[in-house]
Structure 1
Amino acid sequence: MTLFDLTLQELHNQFRSKELSVTDVVGEAFAKIRERDERVGAYLTLNEEEARAQAARLDDKLVQGDSLGLLFGLPVGIKDNMVTEGLRTTCASQFLSNYNPIYDATVVSKLKLAESVNVGKLNMDEFAMGGSNENSSFHPVRNPWDLSRVPGGSSGGSAAAVAAGEAYFTLGSDTGGSIRQPASYCGVVGLKPTYGLVSRYGLVAFASSLDQIGPITKNVEDAAYALQAIAGYDPKDSTSANVEIPSYVSALTGDVKGLRIAVPKEYLDGIDPQVKAAVLEALRVLESLGAVWEEVSLPHTEYAVAAYYLLASSEASSNLSRFDGVRYGVRVDNGGNLLDLYHQSRSQGFGSEVKRRIMLGTYSLSSGYYDAYYLKAQKVRTLIKQDFDQTFQNYDVIIGPTAPTTAFPLGSQVDDPLTMYLNDILTIPVSLAGVPALSVPCGFAEGLPVGLQIIGKAFDESTVLRVAHAFEAHTDHHKQRPSL
Structure 2
Amino acid sequence: MTDLHRLSIRELTEGLASANFSSRELTEHYLKRIAKIDTQVKSYVTVTAEQALDEADAADALRKAGGATALTGVPIAHKDIFCTHGIKTTAGSKILDNFISPYDATVVAKGKTAGLVTLGKVNMDEFAMGSTSESSYFGATANPWALDHVPGGSSGGSAAAVAADLAPFATGTDTGGSIRQPASFCGLTGLKPTYGRVSRFGMIAYASSLDQGGPMARSAEDCAYLMNVMAGHDAKDSTSVEKDVDNYVANLNGTSVKGLRIGIPKQYFNVAGLDADVKARVEESLKKLEEMGATLVEIDLNMTDAYVPTYYLIAPAEASSNLQRFDGVRYGYRCENPVDLMDLYKRSRSEGFGKEVQQRILIGTYALSAGYYDAYYVKAQKVRRLIQQDFLKAFESVDVIAAPAAPTTAYKIGANLSPVEMYLGDIYTIAVNLAGLPAINAPVGFDKDNLPVGLQLIGNYWSESQLLSVVHQYQQATDWHTKRAVIAEENA
Q: TM-score, normalised by structure 1?
A: 0.98
Deviates more, 1:358-367 or 1:54-63: 54-63
Q: In 2, Cα distance between the equivalents of 1:421 and 1:31?
A: 37
Q: Output aligned runs, 1:422-441, within 5 Å.
A: 422-441=424-443
Determine helix, strand or coil for the equivalent of 1:140: coil
Aligned to 2:490: none
How many angstroms does 1:301 deviate by? 1.1
Q: Output aligned runs, 1:105-124, within 5 Å.
A: 105-124=105-124
Cα pair 1:441 1:450 within 8 Å, conserved: yes
Which residue type is aligned with residue 428 of structure 1? I
Which residue type is aligned with residue 36 of structure 1? I
Q: Output aligned runs, 1:435-454, within 5 Å.
A: 435-446=437-448, 447-454=450-457
Cα pair 2:86 2:100 within 8 Å, conserved: yes
Aligned to 1:85: 85
Is 1:353 the equivalent of 2:356?
yes
May I ask how many residue pairs the two structures share in their alignment? 482
How many angstroms does 1:14 deviate by? 1.8
Q: In 1, Cα distance between the equivalents of 2:39 and 2:355?
A: 25
Cα pair 1:196 1:241 within 8 Å, conserved: yes
Aligned to 1:188: 188
Cα pair 1:70 1:229 within 8 Å, conserved: no
Q: In 2, Cα distance between the equivalents of 1:455 and 1:305?
A: 18
Q: Output aligned runs, 1:288-303, within 5 Å.
A: 288-303=291-306
Which residue type is aligned with residue 285 of structure 2? A
How many angstroms does 1:466 deviate by? 1.1
How many angstroms does 1:13 deviate by? 2.2
Q: Output aligned runs, 1:22-101, within 5 Å.
A: 22-64=23-65, 66-101=66-101
Is 1:406 the equivalent of 2:390?
no
How many angstroms does 1:333 deviate by? 2.2
Aligned to 2:200: 200
Q: Which of 332, 341, 362 does residue 344 from structure 2 map onto?
A: 341
Aligned to 2:458: 455
Aligned to 2:249: 249
Determine helix, strand or coil for the equivalent of 1:262: strand
How many angstroms does 1:4 deviate by? 2.5
Q: Which of 475, 480, 485 does residue 472 from structure 1 map onto?
A: 475
How many angstroms does 1:35 deviate by? 1.2
Q: In 2, Cα distance between the equivalents of 1:316 and 1:429?
A: 18
Determine helix, strand or coil for the equivalent of 1:276: helix
Cα pair 1:413 1:419 within 8 Å, conserved: no
How many angstroms does 1:280 deviate by? 0.9
Q: TM-score, normalised by structure 2?
A: 0.97
Which residue type is aligned with residue 184 of structure 2? S
Aligned to 1:384: 387
For each residue in 1:382-409, what CA deviation from the matched residue of structure 2 results, as whole angstroms up to 9, or x when unmatched?
1110111001111110011100010011
Q: Which runs of 5+ in 1 are unaligned?
A: none
Q: In 2, Cα distance between the equivalents of 1:44 and 1:149?
A: 19
How many angstroms does 1:7 deviate by? 2.3
Which residue type is aligned with residue 391 of structure 1? A
Aligned to 1:137: 137
Aligned to 1:282: 285
Which residue type is aligned with residue 416 of structure 2? Q
Q: In 1, Cα distance between the equivalents of 2:468 and 2:54?
A: 34
Determine helix, strand or coil for the equivalent of 2:267: helix
Is 1:482 the equivalent of 2:488?
no
Determine helix, strand or coil for the equivalent of 2:315: helix
Cα pair 1:71 1:111 within 8 Å, conserved: no
Cα pair 2:13 2:74 within 8 Å, conserved: no
Cα pair 2:59 2:68 within 8 Å, conserved: no
Q: Which of 366, 371, 375 does residue 368 from structure 1 map onto?
A: 371
Q: Which runs of 5+ in 2 are unaligned?
A: 488-492
For each residue in 1:100-139, what CA deviation from the matched residue of structure 2 results, as whole angstroms up to 9, or x when unmatched?
0110000000001111101100100000000000000111
Give aligned-pair identity as a percent.
Answer: 51
Alignment RMSD (CA, Å): 1.0
Aligned to 2:150: 150
Which residue type is aligned with residue 428 of structure 2? L
Deviates more, 1:179-188 or 1:49-58: 49-58
Aligned to 2:308: 305
How many angstroms does 1:67 deviate by? 4.1
Q: In 2, Cα distance between the equivalents of 1:467 and 1:60?
A: 37
Which residue type is aligned with residue 41 of structure 2? V
Q: In 2, Cα distance between the equivalents of 1:71 and 1:213?
A: 19
Which residue type is aligned with residue 108 of structure 1? V
Aligned to 1:268: 269
How many angstroms does 1:44 deviate by? 0.4
Q: In 2, Cα distance between the equivalents of 1:263 and 1:4?
A: 37
Cα pair 2:168 2:217 within 8 Å, conserved: yes
Q: In 2, Cα distance between the equivalents of 1:3 and 1:220?
A: 19
Aligned to 2:173: 173
